[in-house]
Amino acid sequence: MRRFIEDLAGRGELAVVRRLVDPRHQLAAVTKAVQKTGEQAVLFENVDGTEFPVVSNLYGSHERLCRLVGAGDKTFCQRWIELTDACIAGRDADVLEQAPASVEQEFRDGKLSDLPAITYHERDAGPYFTSAIFLAREPDSGVPNLSFHRSMQVSDEELRVRLGSTHDLARYQAKAESRGEALEAALLLSCPPEIFMAACASLPYEASELVMAAQISGGKVAMRPCKTIGLDVPASCDIVVEGRFLPNVKRPEGPFGEFMGNYVGVGDNHVFEVSHVSYRPGAVFHGLVCGSPEDLRPLEAVTAARVYRHVAAQVPGVLDVCCRPNVMISIIKIRKTYEGQGKHAILAALGSYLDYNKVVIVVDEDVDIYDLDDVMWAYMTRGRADTRAMILNDIPGFYRDPHKDHWGRLCIDATLPFGREAEFARKRIPGEDAIDLSQWLT
């Protein structure tokens, strides 16, 4: 984490706040203000109530995500598919190694209340860990899993955690609970990029995100043993909380401002009993504002890769997929070679991810799919509004949607009319892309 932050500073991608900041609402408010000005990460050096600095917006830039996974000249989608395919093919590979015994001397014992207690939104029930990556093992196979789950801080001994029903960790917990057993797990709260990005991956149940982390970093992942539970954790993670999910125990958690931009109400969710906290002196705590660019950019990118894989397998000429500004939309760029190709891409996209894809738009290769203004320009100027848009009623959507607010689909073919490309050619000004305004403005 610290090397990552130093790299961002060297690239001019880090804003620094040195004045004292209140972790209740103010830290989140300043983070949002920084995000409105650009894509810089922000480091808070002086956070009230804790010795830990806090960093936010580390992953709020699509270009930064591409750099972190080594995309090079490829799109994020293409590179992410390469990594996941290599991970699945090598899921039994020996990519974990034991860290030197001296690593244990780098860590200090602590308690949960030593860590920043950040309350993000007005109606949040209290402070939350929002970037918490849970590491647990499948109860039978022992395969390790990494996944994100919001965690409400209750005391030094207790967290309350919402486990999404579709996550592998929820299946692990249910299997352990059926046997009357607690599920041991560790929270990783200050991680290097390869661990964070690997936790974003959607892999088969039997595959390990730690193998994915090794694929991203290009080397082995050094592990160290926990003190109170039978798990090893990546030695590169600077803050670790050990504990276990209690079987057949649920307590009220919430409300909380979730990634969709609204509050999720109070619910009975899982209880995590904390048994130990360790951290490296000088560790930097990662605080993520849910629903902000840092939360959405990774989710959008890995969702886009899943849509890209599915559509490209069925429709020729798929160049890239974007799920911005919200993961509920998929914008597909194609090189059009036959009439109706855009509609074929729409049909393929609808089946690629049934939870999402509330809106699907297909555009030509000259359109910037990361600029919604450009996408809508293509729809508005390249043909009729009525015959190129379709509304599909009563199609189930996002799995956590009891009131059916995300049912239905809007599909738009915003590609050029086939065979009339010359009529709709985008106008250009020769040399406009090469202008350096610093040479022209005084």
Same-domain pairing of 59 and 198: yes
Mean pLDDT (whole number) for 173-178: 96
Q: Assess if residue 344 is contained within a domain.
A: yes
Within 10 angstroms of residue 397's Cβ, the number of other Cβ atoms is: 18
> What does the pLDDT read at residue 326?
85
> Residue 261: its pLDDT value, please?
73
Do both 192 and 46 map to the same domain?
Answer: yes
Residue 55 lies in a domain: yes
Q: Please, which pLDDT band fits residue 148 given cuts at 50, 70 and 90?
A: very high
Question: What CATH number does residue 382 fall under?
Answer: 3.40.1670.10
Q: What is the mean pLDDT of the chain?
A: 93
Percentage of the chain modeled with pLDDT above 70: 99
Whether 267 and 324 map to the same domain: the answer is: no
**Domain closes at, from 244, 263, 293:** 293
Question: Which helix (DSSP H) or strand (DSSP E) does residue 189 occupy?
Answer: none
Q: Is the pLDDT of residue 357 over 90?
A: no
pLDDT number for residue 279: 97
Task: Examine the domain organization and report whether 211 and 128 are in the same domain.
Answer: yes
288 and 369 housed in the same domain: no
Element (H, E) at 322: strand 318-322
Q: What is the pLDDT of residue 395?
A: 83
Domain match, 278 and 320 both:
no
Q: What is the pLDDT of residues 197-255, one digit of tens each?
A: 999 998 999 999 999 999 999 999 999 999 999 999 999 999 999 999 999 999 999 99
Residue (of 283, 285, 279, 287) closest to 111 by Cα position: 279
- Give, in order, the Cα–Cα distances in Å from 14 to each of 50, 192, 286: 21, 16, 14
> Which structural domain, as residue segments, surrounds residue 262?
2-293
Q: Residue 262: name the closest of 400, 161, 127 by CA.
A: 400
Reduce the secondary structure of 325-358 to three states and give it as a string: CCCCEEEEEECCCCCCHHHHHHHHHHCCCCCCCC
In a shared domain, residues 8 and 39: yes
- Domain check: are 330 and 198 in the same one? no
Residue 202: CB atoms within 10 Å: 16
Query: Which pLDDT score, from 0 to 100, does residue 265 have?
Result: 85
Tell me whether residue 196 is in a domain. Answer: yes
Q: What is the DSSP string of 43-73?
A: EES-BTT-S--EEE-TT--HHHHHHHTT-TT
Name the nearest CA neighbour of 223 among 237, 212, 208, 209: 237
User: Please, which pLDDT band fits residue 320 given cuts at 50, 70 and 90?
Assistant: very high
* Residue 395 belongs to some domain of the structure: yes
How big is the CA angle at 409 (ends 408 and 410), to the nearest 5 degrees? Answer: 135
CATH number of 111's domain: 2.30.110.10
Quick one: what percent of the chain has pLDDT higher than 90?
82
* pLDDT for residue 177: 96
Is residue 261 packed enough to be buried (19+ CB in 10 Å), middle (13-18) or exposed (0-12)?
exposed
Return the closest-CA partner of residue 303 out of 32, 61, 77: 77
Does the residue 143 lie in any domain?
Answer: yes
- Strand, coil or helix: what is 159? strand
Q: What is the pTM assigned to this prediction?
A: 0.91
DSSP 100: P
| Cβ count within 10 A of residue 37 | 8
Considering the domain architecture, whether residues 149 and 7 belong to the same structural domain is answered as yes
Residue 155 has pLDDT above 80, yes or no: yes
pLDDT given at position 373? 96
Q: Are residues 135 and 175 in the same domain?
A: yes
56, β-bridge pairs: 42
Residues 192 and 270 in one domain: yes
> 307 in a domain, yes or no?
no
Band (258; pLDDT cuts 50, 70, 90): confident
Same domain, 169 and 238: yes
DSSP letter assigned to residue 427: P
Number of compact structural domains in the chain? 2
Single residue among 242, 260, 293 that ends a domain in this structure:
293
